[in-house]
Amino acid sequence: MAKIIKEGGRLVVPDNPTIPFITGDGVGAEITPVCRETVDCAVDKAYGGERKIGWMELDAGEASVKKNGTPLPDSTLEAFREYLVGIKGPLMTPVGKGIRSLNVTLRQTLDLYVCQRPVRYFDGVKSPVKHPERVDMCVFRENTEDIYAGIEWAAGTPEAEKFGAFLREGMGVKKVRFPQTSAYGVKPVSREGSERLVRSAIEYAISTGRKTVTLVHKGNIMKFTEGGFRDWGYALARNEYGKYLDEGKLEVNDCICDAFLQNALLHPERYSVIATLNLNGDYVSDMLAAQVGGIGISPGANINYDSGHAIFEATHGVAPDIAGKNLANPCSLILSAVMMLEYLGWKEAAGLITSALERAFREGRTTPDLSGAGKGVGTREFGEILKGFIAG
Ligand code: NAD
């Protein structure tokens, strides 16, 4: 097995790359094996044995607490760092103060600044809207800044009091309505952070033949943070992609987030690639996923396009209510694996899995969450159906 490396600005992928993976807690034990088998089947079919993934399991989550006394050992972080590209099932967020979400730790440690969420409709999936097929977008959500940076102080603490006093006395701020009982949060948004996110979105648009990139922000209210994101985004597009803009190959526009949420519901066909800040991106990607009926099957990736580090992941949680019952839908993880194969440049294998999923949805051969309680096929049986379609 060999390592994927980043060389000369490009990802160099051997025919037998080592891919680290985390099985995950709860339903992770059911969906991860199905996902790996589906990927192996597609890679084998697409490349006739000339390419093969060497899966390397990493410790994390509840099993790791039992084995190592910690849910996220350093060796796991190091393996993701060393092998560049990995995939993970859902992890239980440890309960208790002072313990960060494992997902947030992974994103921050590897500086995975893009949260990429493609949203498309699969024929046959139930949707709450009339024309879900009009939704075909890819959301680029900034993953390291904004109010999610975790800089906040609870009301009534000495820190909140100190910060309030600094605002009043140091900055002359008189606008805090109830200073005695206020909690505070800080929203850092930088030029570098905005530029690298918007650059990734534009590169994606160009490389996939999509023409429009929309900067979604709330700059009418938060003029320097969200407004800064918009202005830095436009400036970057002009400075680095002026040729594409002038030749009409790229269009960059912007939309205020509340208007975007309305427009994306009424006229989704107007949007293609979305570049947005952390909090907006959280809301926007879940709303769009719901529009295509895919909240439980939407894939995601956390990527640093400069270093090449990427972790692909199921976007749902550990689903404790159905864990161990062969009821879990493995599609979110499988579609994340499709994104991973595309990221590696293994488009043929990705295409085989996508076609198999399309056929399964069209024929109504899905897990109970999509078919209805008491109907549908089990997790393992769904995996067998996919492999049958791919191999056939
Ligand atoms: P959840 O996604 O686990 O469950 C919400 C609902 O969706 C449940 O009814 C569940 O049965 C259903 N569901 C989820 N995944 C499904 C699947 N693959 N197939 C069929 N149905 C599915 O969300 P929650 O209950 O809020 O969170 C439970 C735990 O998971 C928490 O500890 C939370 O922190 C963690 N979590 C982890 C991640 C992650 O690792 N990326 C994401 C979200 C939540």
pLDDT reported for residue 99: 56
Residue nearest to atom 10 of ligand 1 (CA): 319
Catalytic residue among 258, 306, 325, 375: 258
Mutation test residue for ligand 1: of 102, 115, 316, 380, the one with most atoms within 8 Å of CB: 316
Catalytic residue among 40, 111, 136, 282: 282
Q: pLDDT digits over 86-111, tens only?
A: 999 999 887 665 556 788 888 888 99
The residue among 149, 126, 166, 383 whose CA lies nearest residue 278 is 149
Ligand 1, closest atom to CA 368?
Answer: 20
On whether the CB atoms of residues 39 and 52 are closer than 8 A, the answer is: no
218: annotated active-site residue:
yes
- β-strand partners of 115: 141, 302
258: annotated active-site residue:
yes
Q: Which residues line ligand 1 (CB under 6 A)?
A: 27, 31, 90-93, 103, 296, 313, 316-319, 321-322, 328-329, 332, 369
pLDDT reported for residue 370: 86
pLDDT reported for residue 285: 94
DSSP labels, 13-80:
--SSBEEEEE--STTHHHHHHHHHHHHHHHHHHHHTTS---EEEE---HHHHHHHHSSSS-HHHHHHH
Q: pLDDT digits over 166-211, tens only?
A: 999 999 999 999 999 999 999 999 999 999 999 999 999 999 999 9
Ligand 1, closest atom to CA 321?
Answer: 11
Q: pLDDT digits over 25-45, tens only?
A: 999 999 999 999 999 999 999
Catalytic residue among 25, 218, 254, 369: 218
282: annotated active-site residue:
yes
Residue nearest to atom 8 of ligand 1 (CA): 319
Task: Report phi then psi at 70, rounded to 5.
Answer: -150, 145
Determine how many CB atoms are found less than 10 A away from the CB of residue 247: 8
Please give the helix or strand (H or E) that residue 165 lies within, else none: helix 158-165
Task: Provide the residue-wise pLDDT of the chain in tens; the chain has 392 residues.
Answer: 799 999 988 999 999 999 999 999 999 999 999 999 999 999 999 999 999 999 999 999 999 999 999 999 999 999 999 999 999 999 988 766 555 678 888 888 899 999 999 999 999 888 999 999 999 999 999 999 999 888 999 999 999 999 999 999 999 999 999 999 999 999 999 999 999 999 999 999 999 999 999 999 999 999 999 999 999 999 999 999 999 999 999 999 999 999 999 999 999 999 999 999 999 999 999 999 999 988 889 999 999 999 999 999 999 999 999 999 999 999 999 999 999 999 999 999 999 999 999 999 999 999 998 887 778 899 999 999 999 999 98
| Separation of CA 320 and ligand 1 centre (Å) | 7
Catalytic residue among 121, 148, 271, 305: 148
pLDDT reported for residue 100: 65
Report pTM.
Answer: 0.93
> Which amino acid, one-letter code, is at 386?
L
What's the helix, strand, coil split of the chain in %, to 5?
Answer: 45, 15, 35
25: annotated active-site residue:
no
On whether the CB atoms of residues 231 and 248 are closer than 8 A, the answer is: no
- β-strand partners of 273: 138, 213
pLDDT reported for residue 341: 98
Burial 170-186 (b: 16+ CB within 10 A, else e): eeeeeeeeeeeebebee
pLDDT reported for residue 96: 60
Ligand 1, closest atom to CA 90?
Answer: 40
